[in-house]
């Protein structure tokens, strides 16, 4: 799993998120990616990878879509509190 840390900004708050990418091909070329939202830093033992998107054809697009998903999720969480 390829792991990416990004800082996103939601309602003037900086939030660090971790995304995981898995390619369905051995070499990662011309494959389709599945994007996972990691619940914590990957080095922590209780981290969990939750699948959120699949069949994305580009690594950059997969990361961008994962960030969009996380922003929307956090907007909903912050609106409820």
Is residue 66 within 8 A of residue 37, CB to CB? The reply is yes
Partner residues linked to 79 by β-bridges: none
Span 19-31, pLDDT tens digits: 999 987 766 566 7
Structure tokens at 30: 């011309």
What is the model's pTM? 0.83
Structure tokens at 8: 């996103």
Cα–Cα distance measured from residue 45 to residue 75, given in angstroms and rounded to the nearest whole number = 27
- The pLDDT of residue 30: 67
CB atoms inside a 10 Å sphere around CB 53: 18
Closest CA relative to residue 59, chosen from 11, 3, 7: 3
Is the per-residue pLDDT at 37 higher than 90? yes
């Amino acid at each position: 799993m390829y792991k990416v840390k990004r800082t996103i900004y939601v309602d003037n708050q900086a939030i660090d998120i971790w995304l995981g990418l898995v390619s369905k091909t051995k070499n990662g070329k011309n494959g389709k990616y599945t994007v996972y939202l990691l619940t914590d830093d990957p080095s922590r033992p209780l981290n969990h990878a939750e699948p959120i998107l699949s069949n994305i054809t580009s690594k950059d697009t997969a990361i961008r879509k994962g960030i969009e998903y996380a922003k929307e999720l956090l907007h909903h969480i912050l609106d409820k509190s």
